[in-house]
Structure 1
Amino acid sequence: MHGHDPSYDDFYAFSYPHEPFDVPPQSWGENTPWGFAEPFDGAPFVARNFGVFTTSDLQAIGINPRTFLPKAVAKGRLRRLERGIYARPGANSQVVRAILLGGRISCLSACKLYGLWVPHSPRLHVLTLRNVMTAKNSDVIMHSQHRRPPLLVPSPLEAVEQVLHFHDAETGLMVLDSALNKGLLRLEEVPELIRNLSKRKQRVLIRATGLAQSGLETRVRNFLISERVPVRPQVEIPTVGRVDMVAGESLILECNGDAFHSTKEQRNRDYLRIQNAKLLGYETVSLSYEQIFYRWEETKAYLRRLIRQRRHLRKPTPLR
């Protein structure tokens, strides 16, 4: 495994944007909705695997699966998913479903569990053993490899590596930027992480900085680099504040996800920032999530027209 893989427990301590359990483990105990506690509820593997576990996990903490599991399953306290694998009530439903489909949750779906930024996708990504027949589902994307995934849930770094392997370079760059931003790996570790990928992918992935706050910024910055436009991410400008990026000398680009620009007060702050930037001689282009992900071809054409005017290469001159 590449990089300094932090412990699963460290990652579970993150504030996840999506609850990794259908019923959070901190509420497990005598007052759980099902009214009972299990002897392994405090074990690290419960959080590590998002509520699913193996018989080996139980043996490792001194529980005899042969005597414990039949009773727990018979009473509905545990669910048997496949041979040697069980789920706790409240286990993450996507992790459970991937196992029931004959695979393991993977790449984008797994990255989402760990709070990494991923492009919106309602479909579940599942990794299976190559040549194993699985049922086709319209809301599932199946990936395959020659060896069976060794873990019930991939580690954060393994999930990132799966994205880099199974997805296009731009998607990989978005996830890689997010992993760097969250401290999951260091920038100097990226060359080793991507060295076995195609040269075409490497040329894009080496652009990762970890400075992007979202994949929106990563996509726009990657496009500008591809157009040979010099671009600086996360630039602090007096009276304006920190902007997502500056192209050339004087073109500010802001990538506005609705989550951070949805209230009237937030929009008013954005308008004031644009005005202050104009007074300093900067031009501002503000792009929405829809423009960057659902109308991207139109947006690229618009940005190319701006670039051809070459005004972004002029140094900002404050208005008098």
Structure 2
Amino acid sequence: MTVPRVPYGVARARTFHTHGVTRGQLRRLVEQGAVRHLRHGWYQTDDADPDVVRAIRLGARLSCLTVLGRSGLWLPPWAGLHIRFPERSRRGNRRPVPAGMHTCTPYGPQSLKDFGAVDPISLALSAAARCTTAEYFVAILDSALRSGQWSLDDLTHVLQHCPGHLRQLLTRTGRADSGTESLVRFRLESCNIAVTPQVEIPSVGRVDLLVGRRLVIEVDSVAHHTGLEAYTRDRERDRTLAALGYERIRLTWQQVIHDWDRVFADIVAIIPRGDHLRTPRLH
């Protein structure tokens, strides 16, 4: 018989049954090698997702940052593979977690409902709140809002069981075109530097961040600022901003993630001089 298609190529026996596969037929599929037995009650097909298979073999589910990344949300560079052990699973039935995999626990009660091999995004977001730093979590929340799949009310509901200081991070979200832009905004605001995101400037268009009246900070993400065309466009914008009297700082992904201390020193060197407060000449 034909092997039914199941999400991620991994499912419980009862999922196969709902596709019309009887216990006897499932046993024969295993004997024929068309379906493999993973662990008690779980099976995989030939097209099974390797990461999901690894999680289920441990008695866990794919969760947290791994699920968010697969949903198209921005991720920290050190994400790795994140899994969650069901609340009702017995520790004695869990296998040791290999290096490079992270065990995550969402805030609040986990539903007794079996979500399958991969957690829903709402549960993954709750787990990520515990698994990341404040600045990276705000970048993830910004990414969720930017995707259009989530509203601020949706995220408020998802984080209802989180501690107050994490729920408060929702007030730190804002408009951003990339995760690195979110990081820069959050870091500057955390140092009491007022930043306005996504400002429209005549003859230039929208810039990432504006400090004061004339310090423009552009944050180049890996995804959107590579290639000759993007490089040329960015330099044309820089030239126009200079002609209008704006101070400009352009940051790369590498500088934001790995060299922030030096970047921040350059930014704060400008602020005491008051250069960022002078009014540019717009035309």
**Gap change, CA 1:161 and 1:76, over 3 Å in 2:** same
Distance 1:233 1:53 in 2: 44
**Cα RMSD between the aligned structures?**
2.4
Aligned twin of 1:143: 104
Q: Which of these residues, 12, 37, 43, is aligned with residue 80 of structure 1?
A: 37
- 1:267 CA drift (Å): 1.1
Aligned twin of 1:9: none
Q: Deviations over 1:144-188 (max 9, x none)?
A: 478688321111222112111332222221111111111221123
- How do residues 142-161 of structure 1 correspond to structure 2 at under 5 angstroms? 142-144=103-105, 150-151=114-115, 152-161=117-126
Aligned twin of 2:8: 50
Contact kept? 2:73, 2:140, Cα under 8 Å: yes
Contact kept? 1:105, 1:153, Cα under 8 Å: yes
| 2:28 partner SS | helix
Question: Match of 2:58, as an amino acid?
Answer: L
Question: Match of 1:57, as an amino acid?
Answer: T
The reply on whether 1:190 has 2:155 as its aligned counterpart is yes
Distance 1:241 1:267 in 2: 16
Q: Deviations over 1:13-58 (max 9, x none)?
A: xxxxxxxxxxxxxxxxxxxxxxx952x23xxxx3xx3221122222
| More off after superposition, 282-291 vs 167-176 | 167-176
Distance 1:278 1:62 in 2: 68
| 1:260 partner SS | coil
**Gap change, CA 1:190 and 1:259, over 3 Å in 2:** closer
Distance 1:51 1:208 in 2: 36
The reply on whether 1:298 has 2:262 as its aligned counterpart is yes
Distance 1:270 1:56 in 2: 55
Contact kept? 1:163, 1:171, Cα under 8 Å: no
Gaps of at least 5 residues in structure 2 are none
- How do residues 280-291 of structure 1 correspond to structure 2 at under 5 angstroms? 280-291=244-255
Question: Match of 2:240, as an amino acid?
Answer: N
Give the number of equivalent residue pairs. Answer: 275
Contact kept? 2:176, 2:208, Cα under 8 Å: yes
Question: Match of 2:212, as an amino acid?
Answer: G
The reply on whether 1:176 has 2:134 as its aligned counterpart is no
| 2:255 partner SS | helix
**Gap change, CA 1:312 and 1:192, over 3 Å in 2:** farther
Gaps of at least 5 residues in structure 1 are 1-35
Q: Deviations over 1:213-258 (max 9, x none)?
A: 2210110011121122222222222221222222222221111123
TM-score w.r.t. length of structure 2: 0.87
Contact kept? 2:64, 2:104, Cα under 8 Å: no
State percent identity of aligned pairs.
Answer: 31
Question: Match of 1:237, as an amino acid?
Answer: I
Q: Which of these residues, 254, 270, 278, is aligned with residue 242 of structure 2?
A: 278
Q: Which of these residues, 84, 90, 97, is aligned with residue 127 of structure 1?
A: 84
Contact kept? 1:129, 1:149, Cα under 8 Å: no
**Gap change, CA 1:149 and 1:279, over 3 Å in 2:** farther
Distance 1:122 1:186 in 2: 24
